[in-house]
Amino acid sequence: MADKELTYKDVWETLSKVDVSKHTEEKMKLTYLSWSRMWNLLMENYPQAQYEFVDFEGVPYKTLPDGTTEVVTRITIDNLVREMRLPVMDYKNNPVVNPHARQVSDNAMRCLVKNVAMFGLGISVFTGMADETLPDEEKDKQPKGKKTPPKKTETVQEETPVEPVFDEGWADAFVEGAMKLIEGGLYESRDQLVDFYKSNSEAIGVLKDKFPEQKDKLDKTITSLIDTFKKDTDSEEGK
């Protein structure tokens, strides 16, 4: 007899019962579930789940007519698919025009958490919040839209970029998330680990300069896995 096809009801009844309260954290009087903890809990229940950041003609976000942007994610569990969208926001949760890479990346991961909540996991976190879709004077202020490119004779005043905050909390979250992915079997070869290191070179450089103990902890995890790959290779060659 063939296995029963998974249904939205099955997934909801499983994930909505997962207690995420011990995995949440408080920031600016709001409760958050980090993407790494969310993904770890999802993998414990549905390791076959896949995620996708929806692409818009080579750009990882969609630009709206007023110049603000939004990211879109998609979660697939077997034959079940749900999408979620989220405005690209600054640290005050205001939509931004012309977002930089860090803002796009951070909001994409926040969107992923909301996406999984639509399957039931962590929905209690959002249920406990005031309805964020209701009108709000501060939130509904229109951000500055796109500016018309100035003529060559005009003096252009460059906007000061928003610098990402690399504090101890960031270091803990980055290393914890990376280690869970590494130890969870996401990387299956030395080359994949090298690619991870290269793609996160900026963050790892910050760890080296400001948080050497955290970097050493991450390096030991990576080295241990590389040694495992080497032993497996030596074993295969010795057959």
How many helices (DSSP H) and strands (DSSP E) are in the chain?
8, 6
Q: Where are the domains positioned within the chain? A: 7-133, 167-239
- Give the orientation angle of helix 168-183 with respect to helix 212-237, to 10 degrees: 10
What CA–CA distance (Å, rounded) separates 160 from 100?
Answer: 12
Write down the pLDDT at residue 143: 57
Sequential pLDDT tens for the chain (239 residues): 457 899 999 999 999 999 888 887 777 667 778 888 899 999 999 999 999 999 999 999 999 998 999 999 999 999 999 999 999 998 888 898 989 999 999 999 999 999 999 999 988 887 654 445 444 555 556 555 554 444 444 444 444 444 556 777 777 777 777 777 777 776 677 777 777 777 777 878 888 888 888 888 888 888 887 887 776 666 666 65
Write down the pLDDT at residue 173: 77
The tokens describing 156, both together, are 């252009």
Residue burial 177-216, b: 16+ Cβ < 10 Å; e: rest:
bbbbbbeeeebeebeebeebeeeeeebbebbeeebeebbe
Please state the pTM of the whole predicted model. Answer: 0.54
H helices of 118-167, in order, are 123-127
What CA–CA distance (Å, rounded) separates 231 from 119?
Answer: 40
CATH topology for 7-133? Enolase-like; domain 1 (3.30.390)
Write down the pLDDT at residue 193: 75
Question: HEC states along 14-52?
Answer: HHCCCCCHHHEEEECCEEEECHHHHHHHHHHHCCCCEEE
Write down the pLDDT at residue 237: 62
Residues making up the chain, counted from first to last: 239
- Sequence-distant (≥ 6) Cβ neighbours of residue 31 within 8 angstroms: 24, 25, 125, 128, 129
Write down the pLDDT at residue 14: 94
What CA–CA distance (Å, rounded) separates 124 from 21?
Answer: 9
